[in-house]
Each structure stands twice: as structure tokens, then as C-alpha cells.
Amino acid sequence: MALTIREEAEEREVLLLSPFASHAKDSKGRLEPETECDIRTAFQRDRDRILHSKSFRRLKHKTQVFISPLGDHYRTRLTHTLEVSQLARTIAKALRLNDDLCDAIALGHDLGHTPFGHAGEKALNEVCPLGFVHSEQSLRVVDVLEALNLTRETRDGILNHRTSGHPATLEGKVVRYSDKIAYINHDIDDAERAGILREEDIPQRFREALGHTTRERLNTLIHDVIYTSRERGDICMSPEMEEPMLELRKFMFENVYRNSAAKAEDKKVVQMISMLYQWYVEHSERLPGEYIRLIRERGEKEERVVCDFIAGMTDQYSIARFEEIYVPVSWGKP
């Protein structure tokens, strides 16, 4: 019997990819078994399902770092996701890993992020007694809210993409590094564009070690991950590069993420998200129908479902809901 297109692709993976790569035909499967596609591998289907999801489309209107920036060239959560995907696929191809799995993990890793970035995440984590972590929410998005029924490998990579995560696959580790490399460097680029940071403000030791421009730093770090990983049979960086990268990340937290003028609005975001949460917990009957069904038919806790609804909002939609609830409207004729 002739092989299907999917089976031919799976055979090519076995022939061409590293023995340490994740092969689609050996996937640990999905939460709910389903018939395989005759054209696409399991990881290709994961990628496509994420790409076509509503949660993915909403990322274009969610803050990366700077809240509602007045300019067309600042990153959003969507463009960050695409940059992570590109870096991950570059590393994966060089190491003969499964770039389809890297792509799926990268495209899905931030689906659970709140409006207004980490300020929104902080607000929900503080106000919800169940806590809120965006990586866990990303997994909840693909499992429950969008019901994408992804493979266990993709789900593991999404859940463990944070610095403290421990992905089970090399592809998951690739995305974990790519996420960090991407946001450190593109956030520097955005901060410089906004006039918050100058290239000269970056300590000289970091610039000498990593490069004097965003392009140079990306090139240095990606090369280091690839060549160090090839030597050690794992996904890692050399101490000579990882130490200054992590120190540069610390520098960004101290000078941009926490203390810059652009983050002055974060207190307002935290207050707004907190007030939205409290109102919807008290008026859960006002949630959209699909969220009410999660409470009534699946027995989900109201607090978690309210987090689901708010975390899925875009920046402007959350402002619109806040204004609708808390801001009085004019009445009568002028």
C-alpha cells in the first residue's frame, strides 16, 4: 500500500532529523485520540490549530511591554510570538531538530497572556485566590477554552517555556531560550525607539560580550546556542554568553520593565484589571455564554472562569468593558 503524504513526511523526519529530535510518528499522542491527517504530521496540525485560533488573533492587540504605544513599529504580543518562532526554527534547523514542533510551541506559548502584558498578569495573580500564571493559562487556553487537543509534546513546551520551566523535549528547550533571547533584544530596540534607553546606556561589558546593536546581539546569542548545543548534546549556552545575557536581562528589569517612565501607567492597569475581576465575580451571570457554560456544565470555579474571560481580552476591549461598567455616560440632549 502506498504511503500517505503524512507518512512520507514522517519517514523523512526519521532520515533527516537528529536521533535526539522529536519525531512526529513517535508522539505521545493527544488527550483525546483522533484519526491522523493524511497530509500533515501531528506537530504540523498543532501549529495550524494554534494559528487559526481566536486567541492567537487577539495577540495583535495585546501589549508586549509598552502600553498602547503611539507608533507602528513597537512590538505587540503577536509580533513577539512571531519573532520567537523565527529564532526557534533557525536554531532547530541548524541542530536538525523538529522545527514544526518548535513552531507550534512558539506560536502557542503566550496565548494565555493578559491584556497589558505582565501588569495584567500581576493584577490577576494578586486578586484571584486561585492565582494566575500566564504559562499555565496558555495551556488552559489550548486545552479548555479553544479545545485544540494538541499533542503532549506541544502542550509540555507551552507550559514550560518560562525561565523556571523544564521542557521534556529539546524543541521545548529551544523555544525557552528563544523566548528569552527575543524579548531581551526586541525590548531594547523598542526602549531605544521610545527614547527611554540609549545604546550607550547599556553597560559596556554587555556590549563588548554580546554586540553593539540588536542585530549583533541576536547573531551572537543564536550562534552560541547552536554551537554550544552541538558540542554538549543538549540545548544550552556557553557560560561566556549566558552570564552577560542574564545580566542584561536583569539590567532591563531594573531600568525598563520596572522603573521606566513608560511603566508609570502600570498602576492604573493593575487597578483596572482588579476592578474588572471583582465586578465579574460578583456578576458572573454577565459573562458571555461560553464562560457561563464552563461554570454550570463543567463545574469550573467562577474565579478561574472570570480570569479566563479577562485574560482573553485585548487591551482596548478591557478598557471598553471597564468604561461600560464604571464610567457614567451622559444623558439627555445638549
What are the DSSP calls for 104-158, one per residue?
A: HHHHHTTTTPPTTHHHHHHHHHHH-TT---HHHHHHHIIIIIS----BHHHHHHH
Quick one: pLDDT at residue 270?
95
The whole-number pLDDT of residue 61 equals 95
What average pLDDT score do residues 145-153 get?
98
- Kindly state the percentage of the chain with pLDDT values over 70: 99
pLDDT (tens digit per residue) in 50-100: 999 999 999 999 999 887 777 889 999 999 999 999 999 999 999 999 999
pLDDT at 184: 96
The candidate with the shortest Cα–Cα distance to 109, out of 45, 186, 167, is 167
Distance (Å, rounded) from C-alpha 201 to C-alpha 247?
14
The mean pLDDT value of the chain amounts to 95
What whole-number distance in Å separates Cα of residue 159 and Cα of residue 41? 22
Parse the chain into domains and list their residue ranges. Answer: 119-133+265-334
Q: Answer whether 202's CB lies under 8 Å from 247's CB.
A: no
**3-state class (DSSP) for residue 151:** strand
* pTM of the model as a whole: 0.96
Cell match 507551552: residue? 158
